[in-house]
Amino acid sequence: MSQSTPRHFVSEEPFDPYSVEKLSKNQESLYLASQWRLMWWKLKKHRLALISGFILLLFYLVAALAEWFAPYDLHTRTRFIHAPPQAIHLFHEGKFIGPFVYGYNFKLDMNTLKREFSPDENKIQPIRFFCSGDSYRFWGLLESRFHFVCPSAETLKYDPGIDSLNPTPTYSFISKSQAGELFLLGTDRLGRDLLSRIIYGSRISLTIGLVGIAVSFFLGMVIGGLAGYFGGWVDALVQRLIEVLRSFPEIPLWMALSAVLPVTWSPLLIFLGITIILALLDWTGLARAVRSKLMALREEDYCTAAQLMGAKPGRIIGRHLLPGFMSHLIASASLSIPGMILGETALSFLGLGLRPPITSWGVLLNEAQNINVVALYPWLMLPVVPVIVIILAFNFFGDGLRDAADPYKN
Amino acid sequence: MLRYSIRRLLTMIPTLIAISVIVFVIIQLPPGDYLESHIATMQAQGESIDQKKIAFLREQYGLDQPMWKQYLDWAFGFMQGDLGYSFEYDMPVNDVIGDRMFLTILISIVTIVFTWLIAFPIGIYSATHQYSWGDYGLTFIGFIGLATPNFLLALVMLYFANVYFGTSIGGLMDPRFIDEPMSSEKLLSILEHLWIPVIVIGTSGTAAMIRRLRANLLDELGKQYVTTGKAKGLPPGKLLRKYPLRMALNFFVADIGNLLPSIISGAEVTAVVLSLPTTGPLLIASLQSQDMYLAGSFLMFLAILTVLGMLVSDLLLAVLDPRIRLQGSISK
């Protein structure tokens, strides 16, 4: 070791800038993650929001495949008028049969003229799955008879003829022609299956919120964006307009506007009209949010840079400013969907919104308008259950989404 | 304070003018007017119509005038207390509206008081016992209240009130008291009927208010002055009463502005279901039959009611919170 060693130690190894602060795999992925990925991670931690999101997905799935999920067609009438819901059984007198319902015993009460249905323990009607039933046109295009569940095609008759040799009771087919019925949520005044109608109704009720929010989102961004970016008299005008719209009580104004829609319009036009009416009053909150954000952001350097490079206001707002808080906007928009769904329900309930043959939950509830229904046919009020569930789900999901979109919240 | 109040009053004027224009446009929007639809029904029934009479009516009500003139007539008449003429009822709108407006206001005020009485203690409890079982339970009930359409709640309550308390169905009093002078029995009957609409209308507002009060109070409770108070040994009840609660109260008053439109909206729908003698049922009927002056007056009154409610809440807030009235005079 007589060789001279250098005065200073020089490491031959290549320099690693992260040698002191080593980034773990986790940290690395966190730093490199996109904004949406971060949101998703935060949302995953929010249990309630996740469950709500799952429920929402389920509802929209059912709505999309309504024809397939509904046991009957929307307009199929049966002779069972105001029949109460059937219960699903698995066992008949201790013997496992699989999911089945009991058929109805029909009696007309001659004093009150009330139709009285009671389950007939002798008629056993097994429910069929993945089966062929009422024919339908899927989304108005594809003709099919394939359903998820159908009423049974035959009624099993329970025959208690027990002989001493064979102690198990026997079942026999009555006949192939006597098909069973499946009214899990009862029927309405025309003998139509309520469950099927609720499933079909979800299509309208669920889309009206989305379409409405899309319109109001657009209005809010454009109007709020203009007010926030230009300020001055544009801003003052928009502010006054918002104030005026906000001081109207919503439902009377909605009623007035929907009374304007001509009776002669086609159902589809009425649907669009109602959505736009709902959106017309809803954009104010979003416009305010956009405006206040833009007021702050337009003073940022990157905005000035864009201006200096000759970008037009439309491009600056749409390309540079809005994306910065888009996630937050979407989250808060999702919170106003339930209000729209409730609004449509209330309008249709009053007979001012959608009209049959278009079927939404509000239209279905329209039949539950008088007190007799509560007393005699309470199952007609069941369409309110999906309304409540969907509104709660949207509320929780929106809350979670908003928290997740907020970068300052942990 | 005086300056602030005057300023606040003056800003109401353009708002009201804008509202009146919107209302007028809306009631004019349906194609045709009342006379036209009236003629159509008469013809459908096979009755002949005297063209002269139609022309006379048209002139009488100014339906042949240009739009802006009709608006000005209507607006100036409104200010002088002449609300126009109801075609459907064949009498001045003033006579049709009368009591109904009063009852709407009565129900709205009682509902607001009810909302406060319920929301205040529950909100405080929820905030001070955050994440306890009580908090979760109350929050859950609140959410259900928020999500239930109030017209359906009205139906169910009506039914149970009838079954369990024997309250007569619909209306604001027993049928036998209608058109009778006010007596203690009649008052009792009104009170007996009043609680149903009040609860029904108040539920969603109460639920929303509980949530907002809880959030606000939680913000305040996390602030440093609360920690300071705790550190110097203030008893929890006194600490809560003296500081954070007063801050949260500000917002409570400010919230009338949000609450009132929703209460009036809810009151309209509920009134239809409960067939209350308020503005709701008549408003719908007049909208459907294009009875424009009646519908317009209702809409206008409801809007004025909310604008006034917001005014009251702003003024109360200015009394409570000196920052607001100071700001008002500085910016001027």
**pLDDT tens digits, residue range B265-313?**
788 888 888 877 777 788 877 877 777 778 888 888 888 888 888 888 8
* In a domain? residue A71: no
Residue B182 DSSP symbol: P
B189-213 pLDDT, tens digit each: 777 778 888 888 888 788 888 888 8
- B269–A contact, CB cutoff 8 A: yes
Side-chain half-sphere exposure of B164, counting CA atoms within 13 A: 6
Residues of chain A contacting residue B162, judged by C-beta atoms under 8 Å apart: 371
Residues of chain A contacting residue B30, judged by C-beta atoms under 8 Å apart: 259-260, 262
How many independent structural domains does chain A possess?
2
Q: What pLDDT, on a 0 to 100 scale, did the predictor assign at position B328?
A: 47
Q: Name residues whose C-beta falls within 8 Å of residue A81's C-beta, 6 or more positions apart in sequence.
A: A115, A187, A189, A190, A191
* In a domain? residue A132: yes
Question: Which of B152, B261, B284 faces A249 most closely, judged by CB atoms?
Answer: B261
Residues of chain A with pLDDT under 70: 1-6, 154-179, 407-410
3-state secondary structure of A2: coil
Question: Are the C-beta atoms of B272 and A350 separated by less than 8 Å?
Answer: yes
- B25–A contact, CB cutoff 8 A: no
* In a domain? residue A7: no
* Contact between A374 and B262 using a beta-carbon 8 Å cutoff: no
Question: Which of A257, A346, A392 faces B147 most closely, judged by CB atoms?
Answer: A392
* Whether residues A349 and A208 fall in one domain: yes
Residue B29 scores a pLDDT above 90: no
Report the CATH number that the domain containing residue A310 is assigned in CATH: 1.10.3720.10
Question: Are the C-beta atoms of A298 and A228 separated by less than 8 Å?
Answer: yes
- The rounded distance, in Å, linking the Cα atoms of A333 and A221 is 11
- The rounded distance, in Å, linking the Cα atoms of A86 and A151 is 12
**Could you give the angle at the alpha carbon of B154 between the alpha carbons of B203 and B296, nearest 5°?**
90
B82-135 pLDDT, tens digit each: 777 777 777 777 777 777 777 888 888 888 888 888 888 888 888 888 778 888
- The rounded distance, in Å, linking the Cα atoms of A119 and A124 is 10
Residues of chain B contacting residue A392, judged by C-beta atoms under 8 Å apart: 143-144, 147
What is the band of B33 on the pLDDT scale with cuts at 50, 70, 90? Answer: low
* Whether residues A120 and A242 fall in one domain: no
Residue B55 DSSP symbol: H
A339 — alpha (psi -120 to 50), left (phi > 0) or beta? Answer: alpha
* Contact between B162 and A371 using a beta-carbon 8 Å cutoff: yes
What is the separation of C-alpha B95 from the centre of its chain, rounded to a whole number of angstroms? Answer: 21
* Whether residues A266 and A232 fall in one domain: yes
Question: Which of A244, A259, A338 faces B30 most closely, judged by CB atoms?
Answer: A259
Q: Name residues whose C-beta falls within 8 Å of residue B97's C-beta, 6 or more positions apart in sequence.
A: B83, B279, B294, B297, B298, B301
3-state secondary structure of A95: strand
Domain boundary (A140, A173, A206) is at: A173
- Output the CA torsion A125→A131→A132→A133 (10° steps): 40
Phi, psi of B85 (to 5 degrees): -125, 135
* Whether residues A104 and A246 fall in one domain: no
- Output the CA torsion A184→A187→A191→A192 (10° steps): -70
DSSP one-letter string for A31-62:
HH--HHHHHHHHHHH-HHHHHHHHHHHHHHHH
- The rounded distance, in Å, linking the Cα atoms of A171 and A183 is 23
What is the separation of C-alpha A175 from the centre of its chain, rounded to a whole number of angstroms? Answer: 42
Q: What pLDDT, on a 0 to 100 scale, did the predictor assign at position A125?
A: 79
Question: Are the C-beta atoms of A283 and B326 separated by less than 8 Å?
Answer: no
Rg (C-alpha) for chain A, rounded Å, is 31
- The rounded distance, in Å, linking the Cα atoms of B87 and B98 is 17
Other C-beta atoms lying within 10 Å of the C-beta of residue B256: 21
* Contact between A252 and B265 using a beta-carbon 8 Å cutoff: yes
Separation in Å, CA of B237 to nearest CA in chain A: 30
* Whether residues A216 and A153 fall in one domain: no
3-state secondary structure of B256: helix
* Contact between B156 and A243 using a beta-carbon 8 Å cutoff: no
Number of H helices, E strands in chain A: 16, 7
Side-chain half-sphere exposure of B178, counting CA atoms within 13 A: 10
- The rounded distance, in Å, linking the Cα atoms of B2 and B6 is 6
Q: What pLDDT, on a 0 to 100 scale, did the predictor assign at position A114?
A: 76
Buried residues in A75-97 as b, exposed as e (16+ CB within 10 A) = ebeeebbbbbbbeebeebeeeee
Nearest to B107 by CA among B38, B189, B178, B193: B193
- B19–A contact, CB cutoff 8 A: yes
* Whether residues A214 and A152 fall in one domain: no
Query: Is the model more confident about B290 or about B324?
Result: B290
* Whether residues A363 and A263 fall in one domain: yes
Separation in Å, CA of A91 to nearest CA in chain B: 35
Phi, psi of A133 (to 5 degrees): -140, -140
* Whether residues A283 and A365 fall in one domain: yes
Q: What pLDDT, on a 0 to 100 scale, did the predictor assign at position A59?
A: 92
Domain region containing A147: 89-173
DSSP one-letter string for B128-150:
HTTTSHHHHHHHHHHHHHHHS-H
* In a domain? residue A385: yes
Question: Which of A349, A387, A392 faces B143 most closely, judged by CB atoms?
Answer: A392
Nearest to A238 by CA among A292, A314, A277, A275: A292
* Whether residues A257 and A338 fall in one domain: yes
* Whether residues A298 and A361 fall in one domain: yes
* In a domain? residue A293: yes
Residue B250 scores a pLDDT above 80: no
3-state secondary structure of A228: helix
Task: Identify residue A267 by its one-letter amino acid code.
Answer: P
Residues of chain A contacting residue B260, judged by C-beta atoms under 8 Å apart: 249
Q: What pLDDT, on a 0 to 100 scale, did the predictor assign at position A204?
A: 87
3-state secondary structure of A285: helix
* Whether residues A168 and A199 fall in one domain: no
* In a domain? residue A6: no
* In a domain? residue A215: yes
Q: How far is CA A110 from CA A56, A113, A117, A356, B136, in A?
A: 46, 5, 14, 32, 51
- B275–A contact, CB cutoff 8 A: no
Question: Are the C-beta atoms of A101 and A128 separated by less than 8 Å?
Answer: no
Domain boundary (A173, A208, A236) is at: A173
Q: Chain-wide mean pLDDT for chain B?
A: 78
- The rounded distance, in Å, linking the Cα atoms of B49 and B58 is 14
* Whether residues A310 and A343 fall in one domain: yes
Other C-beta atoms lying within 10 Å of the C-beta of residue B301: 21
Q: Name residues whose C-beta falls within 8 Å of residue A154's C-beta, 6 or more positions apart in sequence.
A: A125, A173, A174, A175, A176, A178, A179, A180
> Partners of A142 in the beta sheet?
A138
* In a domain? residue A10: no
